[in-house]
Amino acid sequence: MISRSTIDQVFETARVEEVIGEFVQLKKAGSNFKGLSPFTDEKSPSFMVSPVKQIWKDFSTGKGGNAVSFLMEHEHYSYPEAIKFLAKKYNIEIEETVQSDQEKEQMNERESMFLVSNFAKEYFHDILLNSTQGKAIGLSYFKERGFNENSIKKFDLGYCLDNWDSFTNEALKKGYDIKYLASTGVTIVREKKQFDRFKGRVMFPIHSMSGRILGFGGRTLSSDKKTAKYVNSPESDIYHKSKILYGIYQAKKEIAKQDNCYLVEGYTDVISFYQSGIENVVASSGTALTSDQIRLVHRLTKNITVLFDGDAAGIRASLRGIDLILEQGMNVKVVAFPDGDDPDSFAKKHSEASLREYLEESSQDFINFKVSLLMKDANNDPVKKAGLIRDIVTSISKIPDSIQREVYVQECSRIMEISERVLFSELAQLISKNSQDYKKNQQKEKQSFEVIKKQTEQLKEVNSLFILEREIIRILLLFGNQETDFVDFIEVEDEDGVIHLEKEKYTNQVSKELYLNLQDDEIEFSNEIFQSIYYEMIHQLNQEDKIEMETFINHSNPDISSIVTSILMDDEKYTLSDWKRKNIFVTESVEVLSKLVSDAILNLRRILIDKKIQQLINPSEGEAVNNIDLEMIQNYTELKKRLYSKLMRVV
């Protein structure tokens, strides 16, 4: 186990905006940062990071927490792994205590698969650099491809010996379970036989955005045409080929810095570009581009440049990817290399300056690219030309931004020499069709919600209490240590026996005011998490006379940490919409703090009195109806009226 002192040092050192900035493109929003949710497919930012509070909140999913919880949510790290990741990032030495057998057994299957994958990466890399066969075959191949030592190390390249079970035997000898060797796909198990999947292949480890090994691509060096050129790890709990991009781990910082991502097809394309000085490059690993892969890039930048080989047939087959990129609201440009060249070969022939110059000068928007590619086929055939125009308008219809669509329509009109009116008419039909399809899907969702409508109505009373209890915890977290002026209403009877409410002013600490009122009413929170948070707060007040917010943000109980983070980030939500720029000004809670505290207490009393009246009116099973205490009901109702009077409401 990791020592408490190491964990404390990690929390003190780690900056949540720096950690999350490696995975999500963040932009300044007042004192906070905002970005697109890394957990959902969205066009407008709903993800907020607070450097002051050192927490984050994803308003689209409700997830939130600190730097550790982000790594656990996003990268599926265990708690110790997240701590180790941050310790490594900030050069903190890890002190560990002895791990018990029970703790070892608690490691889940995913973590076991990651351990196996990491061992395989290190094994293949060591074989490449230090074994006779690895140096003679694998290392020679990479050097022939022009890869230097830095690139080989940077991308963890390796080699699997051309023996049936060398890797598997070594892994078993080191204590790795055959179950996880099989589930990750590095070993193939058939009945009582087991052998290495990547026998005799050079190895390209595939990293997650945080650097964990998800799987492998293995290239054969055999000239046998019956042997597949590339073999990839099979789909597993940790490896989904359609959801990862090769090189994203090495490229993520430069993509965010350059605000652009170059997309290529193969592993060697990425490595050659990286070695040439173009580091903001990733590959789809030979598969058709998917929405998940595009969203991975979208977290870091809105700009993507697709690099195509000089092979025209291959380019046509890849055009669908452009429409997918446009659908995600991204800006897409295209670069085609000369016939016979691909990014790998072109990068090797040119200096960094020449490569950058070519990429800049050859970059086209997708309309010009499609026209230059497909116009030759259309030639002077009006039918084919009309088909090309429809194809371009279909692509334009995928763009979610209406202004951008109009600009592209104007550009298409100019290039294809056709009126904007006709193009807008075609565009309107396509958008209308898409809208109808969308409405149908929405209707299906609406019908499914009808099923739980009654349940929602039944939960209204519980939700009211939940909301009020949450509000009290929020006030304690944000303002518990502050002092403010309060007003109490004292009942005074005049000469005629009429009771009036008179104001009495006094000063008190917010946390003490809430505590005294809740104690007087002997109120217990109905929500267990709120009750736990409240008890810890009272303990802190008794010990140190103040509430330490960081204790709850970095709490060992993830439920407490999550709900506290959610509460703390609620006040930041309005900055996502930039209301000030629209001349909408939000009243600061601190300006009405006294009323905030008083209303929270009075409303909680009101709900509890309502519940008591209902219990008296509707006695529990076994109680006779004639036992209803009308006098008690009347007393509670009078009390309720006085509460409403203080809240300035009508009963």
Which CATH number does the domain housing residue 255 bear?
3.40.1360.10
Residue 577 lies in a domain: no
Reported as a single tens digit per residue, the pLDDT across 593-615 is 888 888 888 787 777 777 767 76
Report pLDDT digits (tens) over 12-40.
888 999 999 989 989 988 888 999 998 88
Place of tokens 């790998």: 344
Query: Which two three-digit tokens encode residue 293?
Result: 């892969």
Q: Which residue has the tokens 């040439």?
A: 276
Across residues 350-365, what is the average pLDDT?
Answer: 93
Give me the DSSP letters along 163-231. Answer: SSSHHHHHHHHTT--HHHHHHHTSEEEETTEEEETTTTEEEEEEE-TTS-EEEEEEEE----TTS-SEE
pLDDT at 226 over 90: no
Kindly state whether residues 100 and 113 are assigned to the same domain. Answer: no
- Is the pLDDT assigned to residue 411 strictly greater than 70? yes
Helices (H), 480-588: 510-520, 528-544, 549-553, 558-570
pLDDT at 454: 44
pLDDT of 106 > 70? The answer is no
The whole-angstrom separation of Cα 143 and Cα 149 is 9
My answer on whether 299 and 413 are in the same domain is yes
Q: What is the pTM of this model?
A: 0.68
Residue 341 lies in a domain: yes
Distance (Å, whole) CA 347 – CA 514: 68
Instruction: Give residue-wise pLDDT tens across range 334-349.
Output: 998 888 888 999 999 9
CATH classification at residue 203: 3.90.980.10
pLDDT category of residue 357 using cuts at 50, 70 and 90:
very high
Task: Examine the domain organization and report whether 414 and 272 are in the same domain.
Answer: yes
Given 200, 221, 239, the domain boundary residue is 239
- Considering the domain architecture, whether residues 419 and 291 belong to the same structural domain is answered as yes
Whether residue 451 lies inside any domain: the answer is: no
Asked whether residue 389 falls in the same domain as residue 287, the answer is yes
Whether residue 498 is found in the same domain as residue 614: yes
Q: Which residue has the higher pLDDT, 382 or 123?
A: 123
CATH code where residue 8 lies: 3.90.580.10
Same domain, 285 and 304: yes
- Residue 437 forms part of a structural domain: no
Q: Residue 601 class from Cβ within 10 Å (0-12 exposed, 13-18 middle, 19+ buried)? A: buried
Q: What is the mean pLDDT of residues 201-226?
A: 92
Q: Are residues 281 and 401 in the same domain?
A: yes
Domain boundary among 105, 129, 162: 105
pLDDT at 289 over 80: yes
Instruction: Establish if 440 belongs to a structural domain.
Output: no
User: Would you state the pLDDT for residue 344?
Assistant: 93
Task: Over range 587-597, report the average pLDDT.
Answer: 70
Q: Of 205, 239, 273, which one is at a domain's C-terminal end?
A: 239
**pLDDT (average), residues 407-419:** 88
Long-range (24+ apart) CB contacts under 8 A made by 77-80 are 77/210, 78/107, 78/108, 78/111, 80/1, 80/2
Q: How many CB atoms lie within 10 A of CB 44?
A: 11
Residues 225 and 258 in one domain: no
- 97 and 133 part of one domain: no
The two tokens of residue 2 are: 């990791």
Q: How many domains does the chain have?
A: 4
Model confidence at 288: pLDDT above 60: yes
Residue 256 lies in a domain: yes
Whether 453 maps to a domain, the answer reads no
Question: Can you give the pLDDT at residue 601?
Answer: 80
579 domain-assigned: no
Residue numbers of the domain that contains 301? 248-432
The token pair at 400 is 């979610």
Could you tell me which residue, 625 or 314, shows the higher pLDDT? 314
Question: Does residue 394 share a domain with residue 257?
Answer: yes
* Same domain (yes/no): 223, 299: no
